[in-house]
Amino acid sequence: IYAKLYGLDGINIDFENIYLKDRGILTQFMRELTPLLREQGLVVSIDVTFRSLSENWSMCYDRKALSEVVDYVAVMAYDQHWASSPVAGSVAEFGWVENGIKRILEEVPNEKVLLGLPFYTRVWKEEIADGKVKVSSTAVSMGSVEKILSEKNPEVIWNESSGQHYVEYKEGKTTYKIWIE
């Protein structure tokens, strides 16, 4: 009803942090939902993560079976280093994305893959507390990065290993790091 009301072309399903034991239930849900949505002329896609050993973040998706059901599989190619990551790093390094896509293509036909890229990055903050480095981060828009660059005027360098520009600057004893996505 809402798809017609708002003139939508399709529906994207985004379930995350699913129990591994519910993997088959998710696939069956999509098998039952997709025909109902297609009857309404809608395109159907589902979000998945890159393959990893994380049960609730990655192994919970049967990417091959899902790709046989839906029109598109949208790969969330971000959060290589997530909000509470123990180390600072890129949201989506070039090599990490490339390797992740290669592995996805082992299970999903290339014509069904949508690549979801980050339109944000993280400002990483490293502080020394009790002799240990305490790492925290804040997600920011790309516009916010531009503002930081103009205000702080740090040196922007090309980081070959990440395939991105990188910024690092200090304020007192705190080090800030930004991988520019």
Location of structure tokens 């997530």: 82
Please state, in angstroms and as integers, the Cα–Cα distance from residue 147 to each residue in 84, 141, 167, 171, following that order. 24, 10, 13, 16
User: One of 16, 32, 127, 146 is an active-site residue; which one?
Assistant: 16
Cβ within 8 Å of residue 23, ≥6 positions away? 59, 60, 61, 62
Report yes or no: 137 and 162 within 8 Å, Cβ to Cβ.
no
Asked about 151 being catalytic, the answer comes back as no
- Class of residue 163 by CB neighbours under 10 A (exposed 0-12, middle 13-18, buried 19+): middle
Nearest to 77 by CA among 103, 54, 42, 53: 103
Please identify every residue annotated as catalytic.
Answer: 16
